[in-house]
Structure 1
Amino acid sequence: MRTIPLLHPLDDTGRLPRPDHALAGLDAERARIREAAAALAAAAAKPVLSPAVDIARYAHSHYLRAEPTAFGSATFYFHAFTGREPRPEMPREAWDDPALTYEQKRELDAQYTVAESLWSQGRLRIQAAPVMRRAAPLWQAWKETEALLRETFEAFRHSPDGMWRAQLLRLTEAEETALAAAKAWDAVAEELSLLAAEQRRASTEGHELELTTVAAELGLDASDWSIHWPDDYTSRSYSWPQTPTVRALTAEIERQRERLREVARLAGDPRTI
């Protein structure tokens, strides 16, 4: 008869004890191994990032800080721009710097975009101020000559028949004066239109500076000044060879003359006009 040694003593019933405690220890060890493997796998899956590079050295000299907004963008703050500084442009070195991440370059680009917008406002104030001071009396002259032309035409209603030729002379003189004033106004209005368009091109939405605002800062009221888009002054065709104010005046003059011709025909004196 052979004797087999037992690893564990028999219990009171003469049976081998259940190895629950051994299985529990084994399960715990297996769980720890699985957790360690999962942690290693997760660490291996993460990209290795280089340390963040400080972008402050590429910031504009007027830059103060950036604050995040609720919409995922940022609000940038700067020292005031006068418009006499060089146009803000993101340094070429920043675009070419391999240490900068794409997001960092985007942040710098956004910063310089806002800087250029604010700079363009100062630039417009400098450039538009002397033009506006010239424009104010020209606009006043135009409005006065326009009013005089209308008054001269209305005087026909009260002129005796024998005075119509004299009144026609006064009307043609008023037309010439108004036409000269309209041309002078359109010339200065074109300058202001081009300056405003340049500022709009250099600014982002919400940073456009209105000419009326610049005028108010100078103590001028430009709320009724007639200033059109640059194309209305520069892109003239055969059908529209005149500038906006001159074109409107010419139409008014033609309307008045047509009215006088109609009255002359009704009066049986077509030679009057």
Structure 2
Amino acid sequence: MTRTIPLKHPLDDHGRLPRRPLDETGRLPRGVREAADALVAAAAKPQLSPAADIARYCHPHYLRAEPAAFGTANFYFRAFTGYESRPEMPRAAWDDPALTWEQKRELDSQYTVAESLWSQGRLRLQAAPVMRRAAPLWQAWTTAQAELRETFEAFLHTTDGMWRAQLLRLTDAELAALDAARAWDAVAEELSLIAAEQRRDAVEEHELELKTVGQELGLDASGWVIYWPDDYTPRAYSWQHQTPVVRAVTAEIEQQRERLTEVARLAGDHETTPA
């Protein structure tokens, strides 16, 4: 920004102040000294671009920035719903020669935070209907898992003549647990992908956990078992792919059957050996 300072004496043809006689103290006259000091101060002060130059590139939701520790800033925005377009710093801002590098860096930081907050809004938008659908499936899985374990533990109190009937109850409990595990893993994979997408778009301090979204919806998702997306993807070297919870309950069923088989072998009762 050009600054003009009125001088009491015109400059000469070379743009210099005309020589003036010294005052009685041996110094330049006061008016000349003040004008010279003002010129030096103006030259030393950094010339900043007008605030309007950066304001026109700010995100529409941007409210203000406040200084933070270590030379950083905290950016404040109106709430994002997730319906907005992904925040991206305008290309014109990068190409604008009127902006300093510091101003461009500030805009870049502003849009990085904007994208993080937008990703939170998008996560809430996408995850809400899936989490509402997931809640009863999680309840069904935990109920089926508990019934499987209770049915197996019942063998400790089952008389010899009732083992076959108890084995039938166990196989029914196994099928119910596997069905519930498959249903849960299917919805858990959806949530895993949604959460992973938000993590990719957010800086670390703006990652939003699904259990937090659940709390906002009135759901307790703190115990939900959700793995990384890769855990739900079949691997090339695996001939039989099982999703995480299905794999866990299958292993538990196999352990139960091995124990029952060992008991039947020790008792010499091959007719009650589980298939």
TM over 0.5: yes
The structure-2 alpha-carbon separation of the partners of 1:50 and 1:135, relative to structure 1 and needing over 3 Å to count, comes to closer
Match of 2:250 in 1: 250
Aligned residues: 243
Equivalent positions of 1:82-101 (< 5 A) are 82-101=81-100
Partner of 1:120: 119
Q: Which secondary structure state, in structure 1, belongs to the residue aligned with residue 66 of structure 2?
A: strand
Q: 1:48 to 1:132 in 2, by over 3 A?
A: closer
* Residue pair 2:49, 2:99 contacting (<8 A) in 1 also: no
- Counterparts of 1:152 and 1:122, CA distance in 2: 44
Structure-2 residue corresponding to 1:68: 67
Q: Distance in 2 between matches of 1:168 and 1:91?
A: 67
CA distance in 2, matches of 1:112, 1:63: 9
Q: How does 1:117-266 map to 2 (within 5 A)?
A: 117-234=116-233, 236=235, 237-238=237-238, 241-266=241-266
Where in structure 2 are there 5+ consecutive unaligned residues? 1-25, 28-36
Q: 1:269 deviation in Å?
A: 2.2
Unaligned runs of 5+ in 1: 1-27, 30-38
Distance in 1, Cα, partners of 2:121 & 2:46: 45
Task: Give the Cα separation in 1 of the matches to 2:115 and 2:69.
Answer: 24
Counterparts of 1:216 and 1:51, CA distance in 2: 45
Following superposition, the deviation at residue 241 of structure 1 comes to: 1.9
Q: Secondary structure at the match of 2:223?
A: coil
Conservation of the 8 A alpha-carbon contact between 2:93 and 2:99: yes
In 2, distance between residues paired with 1:126 and 1:94? 30
Looking at structure 1, the residues matched to 180 and 148 of structure 2 have their Cα atoms a distance apart, in angstroms, of 12
CA deviation after TM superposition for structure 1 residue 49, in Å: 5.9
Query: Could you give the per-residue CA deviations for residues 132-166 of structure 1, whole angstroms, max 9, x where no partner exists?
Result: 11000000000111011111111111112122122
Equivalent position of 1:11 in the other structure: none
Structure number with larger C-alpha Rg: 1
Aligned to 1:17: none
Asked if the contact 2:151–2:169 (Cα under 8 Å) also holds between the matched residues in 1, the reply is: yes
Query: Once the two structures are aligned, what percentage of the paired residues are identical?
Result: 74
Deviation string for 1:97-132 (max 9, x for gaps)?
122111111100000010111111111111101001
Q: Distance in 2 between matches of 1:149 and 1:195?
A: 31
